[in-house]
Structure 1
Amino acid sequence: MSTRTKTTTRRLAVAAAAALVLSLGATACGSDGGSSSSGSSAPATAGAAGSSAPAAGGATDSSAPKATGDITVFAAASLKESFTELGKKFEAANPGAKVKFNFGGSSALASSINSGAPADVFAAASPATMKTVTDAGGASGEPKTFVKNTLTVAVPKGNPKHIAGLADLAGSGVKVALCAKEVPCGAAAQTALKAANVNLTPVTLEQDVKGALTKVELGEVDAALVYKTDVKADAAKIDGVDFPEADKAVNDYPIAALAKAPNKDGAAAFVAYVQSAEAKQVLTTAGFQAP
C-alpha cells in the first residue's frame, strides 16, 4: 500500500470516528433533551402543584356556601332598617340571590319557625327567644351573637311631657306603651323598670317594638320603652330620652341558619355576611353595639 493510500485510509478512519462521536453526542443531547423535558415536566408538575394550591383554594371556595336563589330571613322588628340595607348589599355582592325578610316580634317568629314555617335564617332580639328554636332542634349549628341593643324612652318631638327618666313614666296622666313581656323589648323593659324601682301600668302592650314606637308617632301615648336603634331610625318624628338603668337590660342579638332551611347554602352565606366587617359597619351606624 502506498504512503498516499495509507494517509487517505487514516483520514477516512478519523472521519468515521468523528462521525461516530457526533452521532453519540447527538444521542446524548437527545437524552438530555428528554431529561430536560422531564426536568421541565417537574416544573410543570410543580406548576400544576402550584396551580393545585389555587385549585385547592378554588375547591375550598367552591365548597363554601353559594349565595343563590331565595333566602328567607325571619328577623326581629328592630332589625328592619339595618337588615333591609344589608339585604340589598348582599344581593349586589351575590347576583342570583334574593333576600326575603319577615320582620316581627322575636317570640312570634320563633313560634312560627317551630311550627314549621319555611325559613332559612333566624335573627332574634334575645338569646331566650333563640333558645326556644334551638331547644326544638330548629337551628343548624350554634347561634352567634352579632350585635347588642339597649333601651331608651321614645317621646314625641320636643318631649312635651318633659320626660327625664323612668320615674316620670309613672307620673299622673302619662300614657305609656310597652312591649308585651314575652317579647324581648318587653322583657328588657321589665328588667329596667325593676332596676329603677318603678311600677307603672301601660295603656297598651305591643307584640313588637315597632308597634310601641308607632303609638308614640300617632300621639296615642306620651312615651314608650323601645330600643335606641328604633329612635335613631325614626329621628325625624321621635326624640329619645336615655336613662341609666338601660345598662341593666342590654339585649344580645343571636343569628342562626335553620336546620330545615330550604336554601342551606344561602342561609350559611347570609349568616356569615351579617358577621362581616361591612355588615358590622352598617349595624353600628344604625345604633347597635358590637357584641
Structure 2
Amino acid sequence: MHPALAGRRLATTVLSVALLVPLAACGSDGGDRDDASAAPGTRLTILAAASLTDAFRTAGTAYEKAHPGTEVTFSFAGSQELAAQVEQGAPADALVTADVRTMDGLASETGPSTVIAKNRLVIATGEGNPEGIRGLEDLTRSGLKVVLAAPEVPVGRYSKQILDARKLTVKPVSQETDVRAVLSKVALGEADAGLVYRTDAASDAGRVDAVDIPDAQNAVASYPAATLRQSENAEAATAFVQWLAGPQAQKILREEGFQQP
C-alpha cells in the first residue's frame, strides 16, 4: 500500500476511536442511572395494634428478606392511640387495628381494609395461677386485684362486652392504654388477673398462665389492615397490606396463635 494512503487510514481509525470513547462513557453513565439496584430503598412505617408486636416483628423481617431494598418499621400502640396519630397526620403508610370499629372510624383517612387475622380473650394470671381462677365469675371475687384495658381500647371494649353479657361487675385496680400494659401488670405481680388476648398470654408464657374462656362466653377480635391516604409510598404500602393477607404472612400469624380471618 502507498505510504501516504496507509497514513490517512491510520489517522481515520484513531479519530473514530477517539469519537467513540466519549459516547461509550455517556452510555455507561446512563445505564448506571437506570439500574434498579442503584435506586434508593423504600421505607414503610406501619402503625399496628400492640397485640401484633411479636407476630409483626417476625413478619417484617420476612417481608424485608422477600423484598430487598424495602425497610419496614412498626409503631405499636393501642388502636385508639393509633387512630389519634392518623387523625393528627403522623407520617405513616399503613394501619392495622385490633377492631373493625376503629378502622371504620378512619374511613376518610384510609383505603379499603382487609381483615388479616382474628383473636380471642383469655384470663391472664400469675404463673401457676396462685389464686385458682377458673372463669369469668372468679374475677368478681372480693380482694382479687384485676386489671383491665380502658373501655376505649379494643381489648377493653371486648372485656366489657363479655362481662356485661354475664352481668358480672368487676372493679379493676387500674385501666390500661393497651393489652401489653395489662399483661405486664399481671406478669410483674401487680395484679392477680387481667383480660388479654390469647396471643399476648402465650407471648409471656414463662411468667403468666392463661385460663381459657369458653367460645360461648368470649368475643372475637378482628384485625383489619389498610393503607393510609397520606402515605408517600402508596404502591409499596398497598403491596405490604396485600402481603399480610397472603400465605407467608398468614403462616406467621397462625404460628403466633392468631386465628384465620
TM-score of the alignment, normalized to the shorter chain, above 0.5:
yes
| 1:131 corresponds to which of 104, 119, 127 | 104
Runs of 4+ in 1 over 2 A off after TM superposition: 245-248
**8 A contact 1:213–1:226 mirrored in 2:** yes
The structure carrying a bigger helix percent of its residues is: 1
AA aligned to 1:252 is S
Given that 1:192 and 1:245 are in contact with CA atoms closer than 8 Å, whether structure 2 keeps it comes out as no
Report deviation, 1:196. 2.2
Which of 46, 52, 55 does residue 79 from structure 1 map onto? 52
CA distance in 2, matches of 1:262, 1:211: 32
SS in 2 for 1:150: strand
Unaligned ranges ≥5, structure 2:
1-39
Q: Deviations over 1:157-210 (max 9, x none)?
A: 100000000110110110011000000000000011112221011000000000
**Equivalent residues of 1:149, 1:229 under 8 A apart:** yes
Tell me if the contact between 2:121 and 2:218 (Cα under 8 Å) persists in the aligned partners.
no
Note if 1:190 corresponds to 2:160: yes
Following TM superposition, by how much is the alpha carbon of 1:130 offset from its aligned partner in structure 2, in angstroms?
A: 0.6
Q: Are 1:143 and 2:113 counterparts?
A: yes
CA distance in structure 2 between the partners assigned to 1:244 and 1:198 by the alignment? 16
Aligned-residue sequence identity (percent) comes to 42
Which residue is equivalent to 1:244? 214
Q: 2:139–2:146: 8 Å Cα contact kept in structure 1? A: yes
Kindly state the Cα deviation for residue 133 of structure 1 after the two structures are TM-superposed.
1.2
Q: Take 1:204 and 1:76, find their aligned partners in 2: how far apart are those partners?
A: 20
Deviation at 1:245, TM superposition (A): 5.6
Structure 1: gaps (5+ residues): 1-66
- Check the 8 A contact 1:180/1:207 in 2, yes or no: yes
CA contact (8 A) 2:45 2:75 kept: yes
TM-score by length of 2: 0.83
Aligned to 2:4: none
The residue type paired with residue 90 of structure 2 is A
Report deviation, 1:230. 0.2
How many correspondences in the alignment? Answer: 222
CA distance in 2, matches of 1:73, 1:239: 30
CA distance in 1, matches of 2:181, 2:74: 18
Aligned AA (2:85): S
Partner of 1:96: 69
The Cα RMSD (Å) is 1.3
1:273 CA drift (Å): 1.0
Is 1:253–2:205 an aligned residue pair?
no
**Greater CA radius of gyration, 1 or 2?**
1
Q: 1:185 to 1:247 in 2, by over 3 A?
A: same
Alpha-carbon distance between aligned partners in 2 of 1:117 and 1:246, rounded to the nearest angstrom: 39
Q: Secondary structure of 2:248's match?
A: helix
Distance (whole Å) between structure 2 residues aligned to residue 206 and residue 181 of structure 1: 9
2:247 matches 1:277: yes
